[in-house]
Amino acid sequence: MDIATIIGIVVGFSLIAGSILITPGASLTMFVDYPSIGIVVGGTCCALLINFPLRDIVNAWRVMVRGFKEERSDPQKLIADFRRFADIARRDGILALENVAHEIKDPFFVRGIQLAVDGTDPELIQTMMRTELDYIQDRHNRGIRIMKQVGAYAPSFGMIGTLIGLVIMLANLSDPSKIGPSMSVAIITTFYGAIIAYLIALPLAEKLVIRHNEEALVKEMMIKGVMSLQSGDNPRIVEQKLKIFLSPRLREAEKWK
pLDDT at 95: 86
pLDDT confidence of residue 15: 92
pLDDT of the residue at 48: 94
- Report the first-to-last Cα separation within the chain, whole angstroms: 30
Using alpha carbons, select from 10, 69, 33, 6 the residue that is nearest to residue 183.
Answer: 33
Q: Are 103 and 84 in contact (CB under 8 A)?
A: no
Neighbours of 245 (CB within 10 A): 17
Cα–Cα distance for residue pair 5/56, rounded to 1 Å: 23
Residue-wise pLDDT tens digits, 39-74: 999 999 999 999 999 988 888 877 777 777 766 677
- In this prediction, residue 47 carries a pLDDT of 95
Q: What is the mean pLDDT of the chain?
A: 86
Residues of the chain above pLDDT 90, percent: 34
Which candidate, 88, 108, 111, places its Cα nearest to that of 100? 88
Contact 198, 176 (CB under 8 A): no
pLDDT for 256 equals 41
Residue 96 has pLDDT above 50, yes or no: yes
What pLDDT score does 194 carry? 93
Q: What is the pLDDT of residues 198-220, one digit of tens each?
A: 999 999 999 989 888 888 999 99
Domain residue spans in the chain? Answer: 1-32
pLDDT at 203: 93
Residue 142 has pLDDT above 50, yes or no: yes
Report which of residues 166 and 22 the model is more confident about. 22
196 has pLDDT over 60 = yes
Q: In this model, does residue 160 exceed pLDDT 70?
A: yes
> Are the C-beta atoms of 183 and 165 separated by less than 8 Å?
yes
Of 252, 3, 9, 38, the residue nearest 165 (C-alpha): 38
Give the per-residue pLDDT at 172.
76
CA distance to 20, 95, 155, 178, 203, per residue, from 191 (Å): 13, 62, 8, 20, 17
